[in-house]
Structure 1
């Protein structure tokens, strides 16, 4: 079989990476390889964001060799064999070859190894178990990942149920990778295992589930995958309130305006138009306070929705845009428009002879409401509105 080599890419030419390889493997004994996403994405012609390396060297030896070469390291995950090299053009994670000793569906206890195939066997999917030598860029494939990558086929390594029982998050990772790299029809064994073991997702932390869900929704077109997750009973475990039918019209609206994917907007579309429920779901998923507030604002949408500019003035540009897109409303009034500031202050009303107190607040609210309703006119009109309210 012909040898496969990694195509030369910008990241493979990095001088700081060459220095890192020289520090870890000065004699060229094959003590380090690129692994995972960087190899997979380069083979697909996709820009590489993160670079991971694998080595039979154990963490103390890695740290010692980096120190000798003047390369700063951070012990980011020593229990799992990971040391991060801090390089000029970006950090690189270096992980010792491992084998699983025990798993509980959430975490794994590992032992270090010197066997590359043993390390590959503990990874999730065949396309993620590809390694490449830094020197000649020769690709090492232990489980048919190259053929699967060419066929756009996503398969678990070995028995799908066994891989999932090691870490139930692999169910969600399967669907995310399927949406990004796979083709249809999907692998029947993988889907059957994900469906059968979906209840195991209940034992995972909400943060891990939310992270995977948002990464899936950030992909260009997660619609078929989300619908399939619902059919297989997976979506109902992690987000029973979701309506997959809400995604296609939203993605069509995004495409019409050439908008980049926004995962929180897509999550909001999946949820009912119920602010209280949206807050509860956001809290359940352990989302940030800002994300919770945003979901609640978008969940307060109405159909038909309010006009674009008054809505943006009330809830902010981002929330207004999301509500308009989800409800299929016109967003063009927001193009090139900056939300104005209401210029009237309470002091101006007091100077007109109104006693400070509730009446000032009432007049402010009344003038502001009419100002918004009239399309945010200039200050001369605000003065007229004020006179009318005082009069």
Structure 2
């Protein structure tokens, strides 16, 4: 793999970036591109975020950016991170660091001016790639270029120790393997398997964030199968059983066939037994929002077999698409539900008042009766709805006169 970032790389053309790297002393080697922006650019992926590493201390970064007229926000100054707000979007600038103490969830850091020391605290070799922002030369301290070319996600240093420093690295390993990996690194896989119980020490929000990123990765079904086989989910998501990877693969195929974009929450639902109570329990445990939990519960409920349009009208297009994709219903029904735009019933309660019905419960019942008939007939136009209203009023009067 060529260890150079092309000077015409699209991200380098972002407005304000040149001024930022100049302000931070690119000409004297004080700043480098780092991490995902280097990794992804080397393999031809457009990276959304740009991260810079610098020898300057955070207070000096604030001073340098202020002097250059660049807005700077101390988003994580205690850990060395300043966000530079450019016309083309934010860029994170982080001072080189080394770990002083770790407890599996948090790290105490100290600043350094040693690039290799900063690289050594990063998780995987492919994430510890730096690049000179002027020449594009890639600096690789731990063989990340070779691992990236081979599709190998490899820890920097001893995997057992690195997981002990930050337990989330177990899930990050599998997420990166699902995105970039080919053959799993056996030392990394063994360490993740041995330390799977460490996940219990993490907040459920952090677990949810990683899992939701994992399930939309390119090789997610294959990697989920590997995780189930190795018992990775058992300590924190025991509901993800032996059949989960097959269900995820089936969903991915159905999403592609229906031309529906992959969705992380929908894919998470595919891993969980199709039981509303279980889905609610998992959503609550992962501290998902109320709206996300409602969506999970809905995905496990029954499908209205009268047609996808009726289902979409009842529960909304998005929920209908979820429920149909997670079923074995024909793909054509998914397409119809996705294209459905719910009409509005062309009738109000006032239409019954003008027909001589007193305001109150009778109006509400008649309106509901007409709506049900309108739905059953496939949402006919206003003229037919008026006929349905007349018939409903006649029926009510007949029942009272009987």
Same fold (TM over 0.5): yes
Q: Does the 8 Å contact 1:271/1:299 carry over to 2?
A: no
1:235 aligns with 2:236: no
Contact 1:125–1:155 at 8 Å: present in 2 too?
A: yes
Pair 306,175 (structure 1): closer, same or farther in 2 beyond 3 Å: farther
Structure 1 equivalent of residue 400 of structure 2: none
- 1:270 aligns to what? 271
**In structure 1, what is the Cα distance between the partners aligned to 2:150 and 2:218?**
20
Query: Quick check: 39-48 or 253-262, which moved more?
Result: 253-262
Count of residue pairs the alignment pairs up? 387
What is the alpha-carbon distance in structure 1 between the residues aligned to residue 22 and residue 305 of structure 2?
61
**Aligned equivalents of 1:3 and 1:182: distance in 2?**
19
Aligned to 1:344: 347
Q: Matched residue of 2:89: which SS?
A: coil
Compute the TM-score of the two structures, normalised by the length of structure 1: 0.94
Instruction: Label 1:101 to 1:305 Cα distance change in 2 as closer, same or farther (>3 A).
Output: farther
- 1:2-21 mapped onto 2 (5 Å cutoff): 4-8=3-7, 9-14=9-14, 16-21=16-21
2-structure distance, mates of 1:123, 1:336: 45
Partners of 1:335 and 1:94 lie apart in 2 by 42
Normalising by structure 2, what TM-score?
Answer: 0.92
* Cα distance per residue 1:302-338 (max 9 Å; x no partner): 4x85520110010000100111111021223336432
Compute the displacement of 1:279 (Å). Answer: 2.3
2:373 and 2:86 map into 1 onto residues whose CA distance is: 58
> Which is worse superposed, 58-67 or 276-285?
276-285
After superposition, residues 63-212 of structure 1 pair within 5 angstroms as 63-184=62-183, 186-212=184-210
CA contact (8 A) 2:147 2:154 kept: yes
CA distance in 2: counterparts of 1:221 and 1:199, whole angstroms: 24
Per-residue deviation at 1:7? 2.4
Structure 2 counterpart of 1:360? 363
Deviation per CA, 1:142-179: give whole Å up to 9, x if none: 10000001101110111111111111111111111101
Asked if 2 retains the 8 angstrom alpha-carbon contact of 1:273 and 1:301, the reply is no
Distance in 2 (alpha carbons) for counterparts of 1:250 and 1:310: 22
- Higher alpha-carbon deviation: 89-98 or 358-367: 358-367
- How far off is 1:301 after superposition? 3.1
CA distance in 1, matches of 2:347, 2:313: 15
Q: Which residues of structure 1 form unaligned runs of 5+?
A: none
1:215 aligns with 2:216: no
Paired with 2:70 and 2:2, the residues of 1 have a C-alpha distance of: 33
Question: Which secondary structure state, in structure 2, belongs to the residue aligned with residue 86 of structure 1?
Answer: strand
Q: Deviations over 1:237-263 (max 9, x none)?
A: 332223333112211111112222111
Equivalent residues of 1:275, 1:296 under 8 A apart: yes
Gaps in structure 2 of 5+ consecutive residues: 395-402
Whether the 8 Å contact between 2:15 and 2:87 is mirrored in structure 1 is no
8 Å Cα contact 1:282/1:292 also seen in 2? yes
SS in structure 2 of the partner of residue 189 of structure 1: helix
Q: Who is 1:380 aligned against?
A: 383
- C-alpha contact (below 8 Å) 1:97/1:113 kept by paired residues: yes
CA distance 1:198–1:64, change in 2 (3 Å) = same
Counterpart in the other structure of 1:371: 374
Aligned with residue 389 of structure 1, among 383, 387, 392: 392
Q: Secondary structure at the match of 2:134?
A: coil
Alpha-carbon distance between aligned partners in 1 of 2:191 and 2:393, rounded to the nearest angstrom: 71
